[in-house]
Amino acid sequence: MKSERKISKIYKSSRVTEGAGVHLNRAFGYHQVPAFDPFLLLDDFHSENPDDYIAGFPWHPHRGIETVTYMINGRVEHGDSLGNSGVIESGDIQWMTAGSGIIHQEMPARVEGMMQGFQLWVNLPAENKMMNPRYQEIKAADIPEIELESGGTVKIIAGQMNGTSGPVTDIICTPEYFDVTLPAGGVFRHPTAQDHTVFAYLMKGHGNFDSDKKVVVEPLSTLLFGSGETVYIEAGESGIRFLLIAGKPLKEKVAWYGPIVMNTQEELNNAFEEYRNGTFLKG
């Protein structure tokens, strides 16, 4: 019988302001390194007030990481130094590998009702920090959604479940990225690679994340799982929706400042010097 992962720690989101004045809920970030290795940061931006998000994220650099933007509801206009431009809409995902360096902007568009999306930062190993940057944009219609025996559904962004694979491929940390919705009392079980970091972010509802005991978890919380081979999640009376994300840890040193993540302080200093003198972009 496969061993079940138990909750290692629960993190409550904190309110932060980033970009040109965007108000966010930070699920985890700089102060949680290396607990979530290879993941560096997860932000949940959601608001019905355009003043909370309309200033957006004007042009800024990245190096040494991948940024993953997943829109739940709303629209974000984007552009980058590779020449990509367009709009990410409800249900779409953008997986950007900054590698040796990319400069981009992400500007939310005003919408009626709730604007909501997530941005996940994934670290790159030392040997791939300076790889050529690349960009994958996946439309909602191309993200498969499967039904569970419990009556719930899973949107498969990356990884595989019940013989169905997500459209995001060729990512170094071999991630799994699922958007899971369960009805009241619904049960979700999923096998995980034993050496991978696994966490869940609770978007709404309540549930039990341990088959042996009841653990009350509030929405906008992140649950970091301990070691094991499978996860167990049971929805409460109002149902539940959560992200389940997993990836292979790098176990490397992290030198991080702002939008750039390298392995040493010297590499970090060099990156910012190149950005100042105009030699940041390599391709």
Q: From CA 207, how far away is CA 113, in angstroms rounded?
A: 26
The 3-state DSSP composition of the chain as helix, strand, coil percent (nearest 5) reads 10, 50, 40
115-123 sheet: strands from edge to edge: 14-18, 22-28, 39-47, 115-123, 65-73, 93-97, 134-138
Share of the chain above pLDDT 90, in %: 89
Give the domains, in start order, of the chain with CATH numbers: 7-277 (2.60.120.10)
Look up residue 4 and give its amino acid. E
Report the DSSP beta bridge partners of residue 199.
224, 245
Q: How many Å apart are CA 261 and CA 270, to the nearest integer?
A: 12
User: Model confidence over 190-249: pLDDT tens digits?
Assistant: 999 999 999 999 999 998 888 877 777 889 999 999 999 999 999 999 999 999 999 999
pTM (2 d.p.): 0.96
Tens of pLDDT, residue by residue over 107-132, are: 999 998 999 999 999 999 999 999 99
Altogether, the residues listed in the chain come to a count of: 283
Residue 145 near residue 155 (C-beta atoms within 8 A): yes
